[in-house]
């Protein structure tokens, strides 16, 4: 059986945000076993699974990503949408646009310290849409 739902996240400022509970609150009950596939419908934001306990991890992600791919670099050709646009596309390529998470015993089978992150790479990216697909 396959169930699918599109959800809209509230707008977030640039940064890394745990959205596991937001996804779970909107998807409803999970099957005994299966897979949750999460896809973001944007090219300037991404998804990842990582540390869900210490907020300094999120700060370090932001610092490293901005050092690796700086805003407004003179070598960007695609710059019509502002100095954070092309860097956001590059950063989104690093994180990716989808995740597959096992479902066991009606719960996401994440590790103890794992959570689902929205990686917002624009200063004002707006509301982001996710497609949630449950395979059981």
Q: Distance of CA 61 to CAs 37, 42, 51, 57, Å?
A: 23, 20, 11, 6
This prediction's pTM: 0.96
- CA 34 centroid distance within chain: 21
pLDDT tens-digit map of 64-97: 999 999 999 999 999 889 999 999 999 999 999 9
Residues 2-31 have a mean pLDDT of 97
Q: What is the pLDDT of residues 36-56, one digit of tens each?
A: 999 999 999 999 999 999 999
Mean predicted confidence (pLDDT) in 100-122: 98
pLDDT(57) > 90: yes
pLDDT, position 94: 97
- As a whole-number percent, the residues of the chain with pLDDT over 90 amount to 98
Q: What separation, in Å, do the N-terminal and C-terminal C-alpha atoms of the chain show?
A: 5
What six digits make up the tokens of 68? Answer: 């690796």
Q: According to the model, what pLDDT value does residue 79 have?
A: 87
Domains and CATH numbers, the chain: 2-73+89-135 (2.60.120.460)
Report, as an integer, the average pLDDT of 126-131.
98
Token pair belonging to 122: 């624009």
Q: Are 32 and 49 in contact (CB under 8 A)?
A: no
> How does 85-109 read in b/e, with b if 16+ C-beta sit within 10 Å?
bbbbbebbeebeeebebebeeeebe
- Tokens 């996401």 locate to 108
Write out the two tokens for 133.
């697909």
Which residue, among 119, 126, 127, has the nearest Cα to 66 in the 3D structure?
119
């Amino acid at each position: 059986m396959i169930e699918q739902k599109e959800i809209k996240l509230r707008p977030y400022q640039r940064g890394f945000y745990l959205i596991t509970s937001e996804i779970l609150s909107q998807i409803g009950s999970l099957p005994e076993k299966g897979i949750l596939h999460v896809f973001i419908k944007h090219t300037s934001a991404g998804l990842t699974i990582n540390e869900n306990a210490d907020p300094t991890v999120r700060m370090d992600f932001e610092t490293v990503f901005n050092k690796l791919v700086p805003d407004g670099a003179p070598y960007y050709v695609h710059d019509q949408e502002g100095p954070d646009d092309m860097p956001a596309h590059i950063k989104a390529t690093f994180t990716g646009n989808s995740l597959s998470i096992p479902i066991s015993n009606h719960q996401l089978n994440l590790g103890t310290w794992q959570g689902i992150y929205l990686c917002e790479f624009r200063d004002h990216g707006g509301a982001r849409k996710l497609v949630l697909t449950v395979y059981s």
